[in-house]
C-alpha cells in the first residue's frame, strides 16, 4: 500500500487538505484508533499538530496508545465532531495511515518548543497517510463522500 506524508497530500489534494486542517482546528482533542495486542481496536483522545508539512502525534511516555503504535503503526484518526449531531459545514474528516516514532533530538526539540508538551520525556510520531475521507451533507439532500489515497485523485461519490 502506498503511503505519503501530509505535505505530499497537500500538494496532491490542496482543497481537501485545507478542509481537513480547518476541521481539526477548532477543537483540541480528537479520536485516535489503534490496535491492541490481540488485534481489537482501541480508541483514545489525542491532540494533533500539523507542523512543517507533517501530521504529528505527541503522547505521554508509555501511554497505551503509544505502546499500541510502537507495536503496530496502523491508525485511524477522526476529527472531533463538535457539539450536537450535525456534521457542520466542513463535515466529518477521517485519516488513516501508519505512525512511526521520531527519536531524533533535532526534530523533537523544535516540536517541543512549538507545542510545549508537559516537562519530561514524550513520544513523538510522524505519520504516513494511506487515506483521507471527508463526509458531508450537501443541500440537505446528498451525502457526499470525498476520498483520497496516495497516487490517485480525490474521488467524490454522492448518495441520496
pLDDT tens digits for 31-84? 999 999 999 999 999 999 998 899 999 999 899 999 999 999 999 999 998 776
Find the helix or strand (DSSP H, E) in which 35 lies: strand 30-35
For residue 66, give every residue at least 6 positions away whose Cβ sits within 8 Å of its Cβ, in sequence order, or none: 59, 60, 123, 125
- Computed over every residue of the chain, the mean pLDDT equals 91
How many CA atoms within 13 Å lie on the side-chain side of 82?
Answer: 14
The more confidently predicted of residues 116 and 75 is: 75
- Cell numbers of 156, please? 467524490
The β-bridge relationship of strands 74-78 and 54-59 is unpaired
DSSP state of 118: P
The reported pLDDT for the residue numbered 85 is 60
Per the CB < 8 A criterion, the answer to whether 28 and 71 are in contact is no
Amino acid at each position: 500500500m502506498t503511503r505519503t506524508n501530509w505535505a505530499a497530500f497537500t500538494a496532491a489534494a490542496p482543497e481537501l487538505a485545507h478542509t481537513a486542517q480547518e476541521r481539526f482546528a477548532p477543537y483540541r482533542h480528537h479520536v485516535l484508533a489503534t490496535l491492541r495486542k490481540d488485534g481489537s481496536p482501541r480508541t483514545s483522545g489525542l491532540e494533533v499538530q500539523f507542523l512543517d508539512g507533517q501530521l504529528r502525534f505527541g503522547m505521554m511516555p508509555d501511554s497505551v496508545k503509544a505502546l499500541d503504535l510502537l507495536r503496530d503503526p496502523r491508525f485511524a484518526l477522526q476529527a472531533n465532531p463538535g457539539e450536537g449531531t450535525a456534521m457542520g459545514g466542513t463535515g466529518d474528516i477521517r485519516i488513516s495511515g501508519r505512525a512511526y516514532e521520531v527519536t531524533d533530538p533535532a526534530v523533537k526539540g523544535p516540536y517541543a518548543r512549538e507545542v510545549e508538551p508537559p516537562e519530561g520525556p514524550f513520544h513523538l510520531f510522524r505519520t504516513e497517510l494511506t487515506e483521507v475521507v471527508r463526509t458531508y451533507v450537501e443541500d440537505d439532500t446528498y451525502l457526499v463522500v470525498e476520498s483520497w489515497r496516495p497516487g490517485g485523485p480525490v474521488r467524490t461519490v454522492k448518495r441520496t
